[in-house]
Amino acid sequence: MFSSLEFFIIEAFRSFRRSALMTTVAIVTITVSLTIFGAFLLLILNLGNVVGTISSRLDLVAYTGKNLSLEEAGAIQVRLAKLPGVERVEFTSKTEAWKKFREDFGGQLNLEETVHDNPLPHAFALSVRTPELLPVVAKEVADLGVIEEVRYSGRLIDQMRSLVSAVRVGGLSLIVLLSFATLLIVVNTIRLTVLARETDIYIMKLVGATDTFVKWPFIIEGVMIGLIGGGASCLILKLSYESVAARLALALPFLPIFTNQLVLTLIYAAVILGGTALGMLGGQISVSRALKNES
């Protein structure tokens, strides 16, 4: 078996050199496809991360009617804190809110002259245990009957979620399409080798080589193409992700960037494995057709 393995590898390298141009094209194609594949994975991962972080930071805000006393508000705070799904309730009195409002915007608007009465209600900021509970808690709060208005950024989160799933679906279809295109190119590359080696195959079969034996050099050729393409793409992805991530972290420090090394390593590994699998499948397909014609 050892001498056979040597034979397979030497044969694979022979054809590798013989169709150097097509081989290069196939490697570049695999590299491009896998880079797009990996880039989409990274994008989806990061979008998901952003949505997750934003939702976990978002609170629900409940406003009372304007003419409620502090004591009444305190009673409401106790009831809110007891609602299922609510983690924490923070109270901002109408006086505090007005003060803050005037501090923030007082310079721009001439509030003292136009507005005499404090127009703001008391407000409660509720932290909810998980983002999915936001609408549920919002309803519970509304059902209490003592709250005038409930606000949360549900729409924004929903929009982000559908953006993520759109990217996911689009990316997935693109990856499937790209895989097919890549496979086609690999198959055709190795088909050239198969054609160039028709006499070899004929002689191999004549002197009693099994189909499996005839296939190995072509499968190895495919694996080599896939491995090189996958490796190159992995390198491109790793280097560009690191540099983009570093730049984003500087420019938009509040943006949560995905940096879990384990998951990133898995993605890079998936890229290399994907390339290898594509190459192997390509080799298998192209030589199987040749073997069917020959007998």
Partner 1 sequence: MIELINVSKNYPNGIDALNNISLTIGKEEFIFLVGSSGAGKTTLLKLLYRAEKPSAGKVMVDRVNVVELNAGQVPYLRRNIGVVFQDFKLLPKRTVYENVAFALRVTGAPRSTIRRKAMQALELVGLLRRVNSFPDELSGGEKQRACIARAIVNNPPILLADEPTGNLDPTTSWDILQLLDKINRRNTTVVVATHNKSIVDEMKRRVVELEGGRLVRDQQLGTYHV
C-alpha closest to that of 31 among 234, 191, 173, 192: 234
Between helix 20-57 and helix 154-196 the angle, nearest 10°, is 170
C-alpha closest to that of 144 among 243, 221, 64: 64
User: Which neighbouring-strand residues pair with 60?
Assistant: 126
C-alpha closest to that of 126 among 169, 79, 71: 79
Here the tokens at position 105 are 């915007």
How near is the Cβ of 227 to partner 1 at its closest, in Å? Answer: 25
How near is the Cβ of 27 to partner 1 at its closest, in Å? Answer: 24
C-alpha closest to that of 259 among 244, 271, 274: 244
Count of residues engaged in binding partner 1, rule: CB under 8 A: 21
Q: What is the largest CA-CA distance in the chain?
A: 104
* Closer to partner 1 by Cβ: residue 1 or 262: 1
Residues in 94-153 that interact with partner 1 by CB under 8 A: none
* Closer to partner 1 by Cβ: residue 17 or 116: 17
Give the range of 4-12, 92-100, 167-175, 251-259 binding partner 1 by CB under 8 A.
4-12
Residues in 39-58 that interact with partner 1 by CB under 8 A: none
User: Which neighbouring-strand residues pair with 91?
Assistant: 124
Decide if residue 167 touches partner 1 (CB under 8 A). no
Residue 133 is given by DSSP the state: G
Give the range of 82-90, 97-105, 181-189, 197-205 binding partner 1 by CB under 8 A.
197-205
User: x/- string (CB under 8 A) for partner 1, residues 202-221?
Assistant: xxxxxxxxxx-xx-------
Name which position in 49, 111, 154, 200 contacts partner 1 (CB under 8 A). Answer: 200
* Closer to partner 1 by Cβ: residue 152 or 216: 216
Name which position in 108, 114, 199, 261 contacts partner 1 (CB under 8 A). Answer: 199
Cα(286)–Cα(288) distance, integer angstroms:
6
How near is the Cβ of 5 to partner 1 at its closest, in Å? Answer: 10
Could you count the other beta carbons within 10 Å of the beta carbon of residue 71? 8
How near is the Cβ of 200 to partner 1 at its closest, in Å? Answer: 6
Here the tokens at position 239 are 């280097």
C-alpha closest to that of 164 among 33, 46, 36: 46
How near is the Cβ of 204 to partner 1 at its closest, in Å? Answer: 5
- The site for partner 1 (CB under 8 A) is made up of 1-4, 6-7, 199-200, 202-211, 213-214, 295
